[in-house]
Amino acid sequence: MSKLIKLNANRATQVIGRYELDEDLEHLLQPDMTPGDFIRVLIEQKQYLECVRFLAHALPKREGIWWACLATRFTHTPDTEALRQQTLKVTESWVRNPTEELRKQAEKLAALGKYKTPDSWAATAAFWSVGSISNEDAPPMPAPPYLYAHAVSGAIGLAAVADSEDEINSRYQRFLSQGLDLASGGKGMVHEDLAPLLDSPEQKAVTA
């Protein structure tokens, strides 16, 4: 891929330390792998959901949440219910302008969606990314590190399975291409072929 300049780890094992890798896939991980190396292997093995989880924990917060928004936006149609549209709109606004007011709005809309839609989980990712996650009348309590990334991967996973089971793999490929474009410093463009994204030499990633 062009260089994965946005990933905040130099080795894949650093990213795996942020979440629990499926034990059935542990044999795919080698100590000297870069994040790009491991992404390549996961895609070759068609382990798309695990690749989403990995990339969600490797991207910076705002890029990861924007990725969730892009995947969610793909599931919308003119007939998408108003609550979902408003939830996504607020989350997208938070990414562009991460104010506390928008973060709290995202939390309330996510709860109204009952955490059953990609929109709800994208909004939850925004809420969990910074600040306190406790009730307003309780002492401040920050979210555990990378909890937001679980919500990012949840949003993208739900977006992949929405509506048609026949399109799951193609949707994962689409969303992964957008995530890799973001990781390369892009805006989340769709690439029809993942191979060019995975073939170029990878620059050493920045540290967190």
Q: Rounded CA gap, 4 and 37, in Å?
A: 11
- At 163 the pLDDT is 78
pTM assigned to the model: 0.92
Half-sphere exposure of 70 (CA within 13 A, CB side): 22
For 128-163, the pLDDT digits (tens) are 999 999 888 888 899 999 999 999 999 999 999 987
Question: Tokens for 136?
Answer: 């307003």
The per-residue DSSP string of 116-182 comes to: -SHHHHHHHHHHHHSSB-S-TTS---BPPTTHHHHHHHHHHHHHHHSS-GGGHHHHHHHHHHHHHHH
Q: Rounded CA gap, 107 and 178, in Å?
A: 25
Compute the residue count for the chain: 208
